[in-house]
Structure 1
Amino acid sequence: MTRQLHLLLFGNTRSAGPWRHPDIDHTTAGVRRALIERARTAERGGLDALFFADGLNFGPPATWAYKTTEDFEPLTTAAALSSVTEHIGLVLTGSATLAHPFHLARQFLSLDHLSGGRTGWNLVTSFAAAAADNFSARGVVDHDERYRIAEEAIDVVTNLWDGWGEDTIVADRQAGVFNDVSKIHVTEHHGRYFDVKGPIGAARSPQGRPVIFQAGSSSAGSAFAARHAEVIFTGQGNRARAADFYRQIHAKALAVGRRTPPLITPSLRFIVGSTEDEAARAERTAYEHFSPEYQAGWLLEVDVDVTGADLDGPVPSSAFPATTQTHQTALAGYRALAAEATTVREFLYRTVNGWGAQVIGTPERIADDIEEWFHTGASDGFVLSDSGLPGQLDLFVDQVVPVLRKRGLFRHEYAGATLRSHLGLEVPARFGVQA
């Protein structure tokens, strides 16, 4: 089977900067309309899925003055978007350490059925103190402990998803019996972190199970991803680092006995113009409307502190702690960005896309970069960010996607109905055992 490029798109409305652009309607109704238009445009381009990040908090207080309010809760948002789309996948972030696995299993499987099998779970281990404070938690759990919790949580969730088999529902109208009780799997999980009896009472997913996404890049995180993830979302600032990460994940997946390694989709921020000059002008517009104050406040969540620093001076070495128990990969990624930036302002602008890659230029140049990453073993595709500027997503769909299609890299139309079919993933066996 010919390897195919995968393209996902951040579904979230952007909260830092672009709302200041005069052509952006940042009212609640405006954000709702923009979300629907975004989903339909991405689907028109044949993109695999919308990817919704989440933080379970409004951010550090230093961001509050600059952040828009209508960054809707992902599961609710995706449920609404599933009714105005037909094909595009819907990948939602759910915390394995702050949300209860019974709720996660029930919510994701419900959305998967309602969307016709288009759902993915971006499994995260929440690191922000502001998020923990909203869930009666005793502070942030240590980094490696979060992954031990996640190991148990994913086991519970997948067992709940597999509660019903193909022959559990008999729907015998004459006898009045709907389920063969002998074929209902009751989870009966009693572990270190969770006690869950089950079942959740739902037929198996149209795609077997929702697709598991994961973003771990630290030692513990990448080991977890190599065992469980079907798709890995990662931030890699350049192709060399991405290729090294790609090789490491493939080796770890092989070492734990996986026949097929996870797909790897780094983040990629793009700005497209019909000419290089037009693309440069669009980037200047994005630069003029981004909020350095917001970015500086948000970085506090990952223990990077440039608040109060001279925006036009160099990034102070004191901005970075020696170690962190919050997000180790983020700290390393932001250190690398700071080393490449000449000023704090430039550094903060680059962090709008986390610590990921970016490409600015004509459709052909953007397609060239995507193709190079894809063909040199640096990625299986990308999670795209369109900078939040009006019209940029349309330009990508109408100008970049046709170039990728012409080169034989990207689909002309959806071949199936589920997210798994878009991603070329097998339907997992119930309880991981092949019949």
Structure 2
Amino acid sequence: MTRQLHLLVLGNPRFGSSWRYPGVVNGPAAVLESLVETARTAERGTFDAIFFADTLNYGPEAAWAHKATEDFEPFTTTAALSRETERLGLVVTGSATFQAPYHLARQLISLDHLSGGRAGWNVVTSFAEAAAANFGEGGVVAHDERYRIAGETLEVVRKLWDSWGPDTVVEDRTAGVYNDRKAIRVPEHKGEFFSVRGPLGAAPSRQGHPVIFQAGSSTAGRAFAARHAEVVFTGQSDVDRGRAFVERIHQEATAYGRPAPPLVTPSLGFIVGSTEDEAKALERTVFEHFIPEYQIGWLQEVDIDLTGADLDGPVPLSAFAASTETHRTALDGYRALATQGNPTVREFLFRTVTAFGARVAGSPEQVADEIERWFTGRAADGFILNPSGLPGQLDVFVDHVVPILRRRGLFRHEYEGETLREHLGVGSAPRS
């Protein structure tokens, strides 16, 4: 089968400074309308899924004054969007650090059933002090221990999903027996971090289980992804780094005995104009409206403190912690951004708007060229696209970039299946 590009879109509303852009209407009703519009546009473009990041906190206090309040919770958001779409996958972020396995298993399988088998779970290990402060007084869990907890969380969730098999439901109306009691698999899990009896009262979904995404790029994160993930979301700034990351993931997946490696979908911030000059003008609009103070506050979560720095001076590398137990990959990625081309603090902060992933601004042909370069160069299997919050950019991408990708034989003309697994081609759900 010919290898096929995968496209997902970041769905988070009013991300970063986007609430400031001309033409953007703020408030809960407007945000809901924009969410529905984004999902429908992505489905019109035959995207694989819409993807929601989440942090379980409102961010560092230094960013509060600059952040929009409609920070909707992803499980309920995607449940609403499941009624507004028919084929588009719905990927939610759920914390294996602070969210209980039973709740995660129940919420995710519910979303999978409500959407007809279109759910995906982005498994994250929460690192922010602000998130830890919302779940007791234990503080941030050490980096590698978070991944051990995540491994057990995923094990428990899969056991719960497998409580019901294909022959458990019998619906014997005469006898009044709905389930074959002997066919219910009770997990009775007792591990290092969790004790969960179960079972979960839900049969397998149309696609079996939700698709497992993972977003770690550290040594422990890559090992987790290579062992468990079906899709890896990562931030890589150029093709060479992307290709090296894919090669490492493939090698580690092979070492774990997996018959096929996970898909790798880096983040890609994009701006499309009818010409390159128009795209650059739109990029200037983004630059003029981004809020440096918001980015400074947000970076504090990964132990980078630029408070008081001269925005038009060089980036002081002393602002970067030597090491961290929060997000090692982010710290290293941002340090690399700060040293590429000697940016000013303001320029560096603007680069962080799309995290430490790739970014392209140009005509539809130029954007398609960049996507093709990554894809054919084996630096990505697809992308999680970030339209930079500019109104209408996703429509422009779907109407002008997607047709080019289709003409080049890189992307589907229509959906061939109905579930997220079918869109991604990741095969059957693994059983516990």
Q: Normalised by the shorter chain, which TM-score bucket?
A: over 0.9
Instruction: List structure 1 segments (4+ residues) > 3 angstroms apart after TM superposition.
Output: none
Alignment of 1:4-19 (within 5 A): 4-19=4-19
What secondary structure is seen at the aligned counterpart in 2 of 1:307?
coil
SS in structure 1 of the partner of residue 134 of structure 2: helix
Going from structure 1 to structure 2, the CA distance change for 1:429 and 1:73 (only over 3 Å counts) comes to closer
Equivalent residue, structure 2, for 1:383: 384
Q: Counterparts of 2:8 and 2:258 in 1: how far apart (Å)?
A: 24
| Aligned counterparts of 2:129 and 2:326: Cα–Cα separation in 1 | 9
**What is the distance in 2 between the residues matched to 1:69 and 1:27?**
8
Q: Which amino acid aligns with 2:82?
A: S
| Equivalent residues of 1:7, 1:384 under 8 A apart | yes
Query: Corresponding residue for 1:210?
Result: 210
Matches of residues 366-405 of structure 1 in structure 2 within 5 Å?
A: 366-405=367-406
Matches of 1:388 and 1:166, distance apart in 2: 43
Hey, what's the Cα distance between the residues in 2 that align with 1:311 and 1:16?
18
| Alignment correspondent of 1:229 | 229
Q: Hey, what's the Cα distance between the residues in 1 that align with 2:326 and 2:386?
A: 24
- Matched-pair contact (CA < 8 Å) for 2:270–2:385: yes
Q: How far apart, CA to CA, are the structure 1 residues paired with 2:393 and 2:410?
A: 21
Answer yes or no: is 1:327 the counterpart of 2:327.
Answer: yes
Deviation of 1:188 after TM superposition, in Å, equals 0.2
Query: Match of 1:369, SS?
Result: helix
Whether the 8 Å contact between 1:270 and 1:387 is mirrored in structure 2 is yes
Q: Does 1:420 align with 2:421?
A: yes
Q: Match for residue 299 of structure 1?
A: 299
CA displacement, residues 218-240 of structure 1 (integer Å, 9 cap, x when unaligned): 11110011000000000001111
User: How far did residue 43 of structure 1 move?
Assistant: 0.5
What is residue 86 of structure 2 aligned with on the other side?
A: 86
Other-structure match for 2:366: 365
| Larger deviation, residues 135-144 vs 12-21 | 12-21
RMSD of equivalent CA atoms: 0.8
| SS at 2:284 equivalent | helix
CA distance in 2, matches of 1:26, 1:87: 28
Cα displacement (A) at 1:110: 0.4
Quote the offset at 1:137 in angstroms.
4.3
1:8-87 equivalences under 5 Å are 8-87=8-87
Residues in 1 aligned to 2:217 and 2:137: alpha-carbon distance in whole angstroms: 24
Give the 3 Å change call, closer, same or farther, for CA 429–316 of structure 1 in structure 2: closer
Unaligned runs of 5+ in 1: none
Alpha-carbon contact 2:14-2:70 (below 8 Å) kept: no
C-alpha distance in 2, partners of 1:50/1:297?
27
Per the TM alignment, residue 307 of structure 1 is displaced from its structure 2 partner at its CA by 1.6
Partner of 1:245: 245
Q: Residues of 2 paired with 1:212 and 1:410: CA distance? A: 22
Quote the offset at 1:429 in angstroms.
4.4
What residue is the counterpart of 2:352 in the other structure?
A: 351
Q: In structure 1, what is the Cα distance between the partners aligned to 2:9 and 2:22?
A: 24
Question: Is 1:178 the counterpart of 2:184 in the alignment?
Answer: no
Label 1:429 to 1:389 Cα distance change in 2 as closer, same or farther (>3 A). closer
Aligned 8 A contact 1:93 1:124 in 2: yes
Partner of 2:311: 311
In the aligned structure 2, how far is the partner of 1:152 from the partner of 1:308?
Answer: 42
- Report the residue type matching 1:30 in the other structure: A
Residue identity over aligned pairs, in percent, reads: 66
Task: Determine the structure 1 residue equivalent to 2:281.
Answer: 281
2:121 partner amino acid: W
Alignment of 1:141 with 2:141, yes or no, is yes
State how far apart, in whole Å, the 1-side matches of 2:158 and 2:65 are.
40
Maintained 8 Å contact 2:124/2:215: yes
User: CA separation in 2, counterparts of 1:201 and 1:94?
Assistant: 20
Query: 1 CA distance for matches of 2:246 and 2:16?
Result: 31
Please give the alpha-carbon distance, in whole angstroms, between the structure 1 residues aligned to 2:74 and 2:309. Answer: 34
CA distance, structure 1, for counterparts of residue 427 and residue 181 of structure 2: 28
Contact 1:161 1:205 in 2 (8 A): no
Aligned pairs, number: 431
> Is the partner of 2:170 in helix, strand or coil?
strand
Offset at 1:16? 2.3
Q: Is the CA contact 1:269–1:358 (under 8 Å) kept in the aligned structure 2? A: yes
Deviations 1:200-250 (A, max 9, x none): 110012111100000111111100110000000000011110100000000
Q: Distance in 1 between matches of 2:64 and 2:267?
A: 25
Partner of 1:100: 100
Counterparts of 1:141-180 in structure 2 under 5 Å? 141-180=141-180
Mapping of residues 117-136 of structure 1, within 5 Å: 117-136=117-136
Deviations 1:158-205, CA, capped at 9 Å, x for gaps: 010111111110011111110001100001001111010001110012
Mapped to 1, the partners of 2:53 and 2:74 lie a distance apart of: 8
Provide, for residues 359-416 of structure 1, a one-character-per-residue CA deviation record: whole Å limited to 9, x for no partner. 1101111111111111111000000000101111110000000000000000111111
- What TM-score do you get using the length of structure 1 for normalisation? 0.98
